[in-house]
Amino acid sequence: EWPGLLDRTALVTGASSGLGRHFAQLLAGQGVVVTLAARRIDRIQSLCEDIRSEGGTAHALELDVSDPASIEAGLVGTAFDIVINNAGIAASATALDHDDETLDRIIDTNLKGPFRVARAAAKAMIDAGKGGVIVNVASILGVRVASHVSAYAASKSGLIQMTRAQALEWARHGIRVNALCPGYIETELNVDFFASEPGQKLIRRVPQRRLGQTRDLDGPLLLLVSDLGSFMTGSELVVDGGHL
């Protein structure tokens, strides 16, 4: 067990699949009371049931992070101890081909959404006078350059600077804010792509010559949210098999 997690409360956005689903299960396994948020309520309800059947405590929250009204209705006034700002979307196109609709959707979901979630969470933490921990799930693509992902990369690098600024302003309230920057992690959505030739080509560029698995993020995430990471704030933790 990692110190400082038992009976804490956590919000995980984008908990209906991939990394968020894994993070919710990981935290529940550490005795954290988890609130799972996403738009697909049926998926998070069924994951809540799985967590409960394993002895954990889990709640489902229907949330669209790209909609300010949804954040207002779902989050304002709730003081979680831990917030994992994980919900995010990606789109691949050249910078010339990125249309306005895609650009807006990516920035609304990956940057403005986490900003509003973190702001609501921090206000509630400050009002409750108890501090807390926020982890913004960015990406190595927020740090390094790649083609065909200009909007996504812009959203994730913005998220990293947002993290640093929030950490600076909220440290005096006992709130730590860090960014987790995964490299290529295999999930149900990208497994087919990474099996294809272009996907295999990308994997060959990773020094460890493999895709990350969600469990590769366990130690880094638990470090950021537990008391073992209590002197870490405003930093970005890169977990990418040496890709950077």
DSSP 137-165: E--GGGTS--TTBHHHHHHHHHHHHHHHH
Judged by CB under 6 A, does residue 20 bind ligand NDP? yes
Specify whether 139 is catalytic.
Answer: yes
C-alpha count within 13 angstroms, C-beta hemisphere, residue 43:
14
Distance CA 103, CA 152 (A): 8
Judged by CB under 6 A, does residue 45 bind ligand NDP? no
Residue 200 tokens read as 């295999």
Judged by CB under 6 A, does residue 84 bind ligand NDP? no
Helix (H, G, I), strand (E, B) or coil at 243: coil
* Residue 140, burial from CB neighbour count under 10 angstroms (0-12, 13-18, 19+): buried
Nearer to ligand NDP, 182 or 241 (CB): 182
* Subset of 63-82 contacting ligand NDP (CB under 6 A): 63-66
Catalytic residue among 16, 139, 155, 235: 139
* Subset of 116-175 contacting ligand NDP (CB under 6 A): 137, 139
Judged by CB under 6 A, does residue 216 bind ligand NDP? no
* Residue 202, burial from CB neighbour count under 10 angstroms (0-12, 13-18, 19+): middle
- Binding range to ligand NDP, per CB under 6 A, among 3-11, 37-45, 195-203, 215-223: 37-45
Which residues are catalytically annotated? 139, 152, 156
By CB under 6 A, name the binding residues for ligand NDP: 13-20, 38-40, 43, 63-66, 86-90, 109, 137, 139, 182, 184-185, 187, 189-190
